[in-house]
């Protein structure tokens, strides 16, 4: 399995997995309890908050632990942010090699805030609920690891990204969404004119490669990303966008394999265009079936087979059929 969707979530860093195993087993105390197990849990929690505060350049009192990005966003979305400076920020551990279900909300000292979850007096009464000590420690650990390895990771990602883009140079109809300079170093958003991202995503999935499409999935249908549309891309361009995001464990071999498979699929999907032209020309001049048309038909058979397999093994709405139908030579001939 080659995982290239680290912007959705990341696999746990091995050392974080070990920390979690140990803490979930041993450190079960409630930080509000006065006896030794509770005090020890409190120390671990506060130590994690201090480590995170130092890395973020914030005061420990400005950070509260949450269940993740969504909760933090909900806590502050009703408030007006001051125009200068950042008053609030949300962080989530699962994008950084940490576990899902733990996040941080930064509230700049003096900024207005009213709690969303009330009950006990945890987190200075700003967020009720027994604190998840093991997860807070895991968050501090993954964040620390990312901060100390950031420059090495970034240069590795930039190198891999360049290598990948170079390998696609020969591929026709391939375009970049956004610019390399302005994108996150681990992220690449690519489009392939006339090919839907969904089709490529499914083909790559069948190869054991996980990438994301720039399309949002709503009511089972793939929709063009509103972000890409707001950036000025057309519906067709936005729907053809594939998002490739690398992470701490992405290797050169992963990127080489992605490049190999992607080029293979793009060429396969592009073939009908050529066949179509030749068929149309052949029709106009009264020639018989060309080898290119035979090739197109073989390609159609192959895609239909893949579609059926995809449907059997996974519950996808595979649209390569639609893709092919709307480009079938007969439509042009008639």
Ligand X SMILES: Cc1ncc(COP(=O)(O)O)c(C=O)c1O
The Cα–Cα gap between 272 and 268 comes to: 8
Q: Which is nearer to ligand X, 103 or 272 (CB)?
A: 103
Q: Give the residue ranges of DSSP H helices in 169-234.
A: 197-206, 226-230
Q: Which is nearer to ligand X, 185 or 283 (CB)?
A: 185
Beta-strand relationship, 174-176 and 212-213: unpaired
The DSSP secondary structure of 179-225, one letter per residue, reads: -TTTS-TTEEEEEETTS-HHHHHHHHHHTTEE-EESSEEETTEEE--
CB 41 within 8 A of CB 32: no
Task: Check 77, 147, 217, 287 and give the catalytic one.
Answer: 217
The least CB distance from residue 140 to ligand X, in Å, is: 16
The least CB distance from residue 101 to ligand X, in Å, is: 7
Q: Does 15 bind ligand X (CB under 6 A)?
A: no
CB 51 within 8 A of CB 63: no
Q: Which is nearer to ligand X, 61 or 70 (CB)?
A: 70
The Cα–Cα gap between 228 and 239 comes to: 9
Q: Does 70 bind ligand X (CB under 6 A)?
A: yes
Q: Which is nearer to ligand X, 92 or 199 (CB)?
A: 92
Q: Does 99 bind ligand X (CB under 6 A)?
A: no
The least CB distance from residue 66 to ligand X, in Å, is: 8
Which of these ranges, 16-24, 64-72, 210-218, 310-318, lies near ligand X under the rule CB under 6 A? Answer: 64-72
The least CB distance from residue 68 to ligand X, in Å, is: 2
Which of these ranges, 10-18, 43-51, 62-70, 313-321, lies near ligand X under the rule CB under 6 A? Answer: 62-70
CB 272 within 8 A of CB 304: no
Q: Which is nearer to ligand X, 73 or 187 (CB)?
A: 73
Helix (H, G, I), strand (E, B) or coil at 187: strand
Q: Does 214 bind ligand X (CB under 6 A)?
A: no
Beta-strand relationship, 187-192 and 174-176: antiparallel
x/- mask, ligand X, residues 217-256, rule CB under 6 A, reads: ----------------------------------------
Q: Which is nearer to ligand X, 139 or 269 (CB)?
A: 139
CB 13 within 8 A of CB 137: no
Which of these ranges, 42-50, 68-76, 150-158, 317-325, lies near ligand X under the rule CB under 6 A? Answer: 68-76
Chosen residue from 68, 98, 178, 214 binding ligand X by CB under 6 A: 68
Beta-strand relationship, 63-66 and 88-92: unpaired
Q: Tell me the C-alpha to C-alpha distance, in Å, between residue 161 and each of 70, 184, 217, 242.
A: 30, 11, 26, 14
Give every CB contact of residue 95 below 8 A, 6+ residues apart in sequence: 6, 7, 9, 10
77 is a catalytic site residue: no
318 is written with which tokens?
């595979």
Which of these ranges, 69-77, 104-112, 118-126, 201-209, lies near ligand X under the rule CB under 6 A? Answer: 69-77
Bridge partners (DSSP) of residue 5 are: 245
Considering only residues 101 to 120 of the shown chain, the ones binding ligand X according to CB under 6 A are: 103
| Contact footprint for ligand X (CB under 6 A) | 68-70, 73, 92, 94, 103
What residues act catalytically?
217
């Amino acid at each position: 399995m080659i995982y290239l969707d680290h912007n959705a979530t990341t696999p746990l860093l091995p050392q974080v997995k070990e920390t979690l195993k140990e803490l979930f087993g041993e450190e079960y105390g409630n930080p509000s309890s006065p006896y030794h197990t509770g005090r020890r849990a409190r120390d671990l929690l506060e130590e994690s908050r201090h480590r995170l505060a130092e890395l973020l350049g914030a005061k420990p009192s400005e950070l509260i632990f949450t269940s993740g990005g969504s909760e933090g966003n909900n806590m502050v979305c009703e408030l007006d942010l001051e125009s200068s400076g950042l008053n609030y920020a949300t962080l989530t551990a699962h994008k950084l090699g940490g576990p899902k279900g733990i996040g941080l909300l930064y509230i700049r000292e003096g900024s207005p805030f009213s709690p969303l979850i009330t009950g006990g007096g945890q987190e200075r009464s700003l967020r009720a609920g027994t604190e998840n000590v093991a997860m807070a420690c895991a968050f501090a650990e993954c964040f620390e690891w990312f901060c100390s390895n950031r420059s090495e990771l970034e240069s590795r990602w930039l190198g891999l990204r360049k290598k990948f883009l170079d390998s696609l140079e020969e591929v026709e109809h391939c375009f970049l969404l956004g610019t390399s300079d302005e994108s996150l170093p681990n992220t690449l958003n690519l489009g392939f004119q006339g090919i839907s991202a969904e089709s490529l995503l499914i083909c790559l999935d069948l190869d054991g490669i996980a990438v994301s499409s720039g399309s949002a999935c709503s009511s089972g249908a793939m929709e063009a990303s509103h972000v890409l549309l707001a950036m000025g891309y057309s519906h067709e361009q936005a729907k053809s966008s594939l998002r490739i995001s690398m992470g701490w464990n992405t290797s050169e071999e992963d990127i080489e394999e992605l490049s190999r498979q992607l080029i293979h699929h793009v060429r396969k999907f592009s073939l009908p265009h050529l066949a179509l032209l030749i068929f149309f020309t052949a029709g106009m001049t009264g020639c018989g079936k060309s080898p290119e048309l035979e090739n197109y038909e073989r390609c159609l058979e192959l895609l239909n087979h893949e579609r059926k397999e995809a449907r059997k093994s996974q519950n996808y709405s595979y649209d390569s059929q639609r893709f092919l139908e709307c480009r079938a030579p007969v439509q042009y001939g008639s």
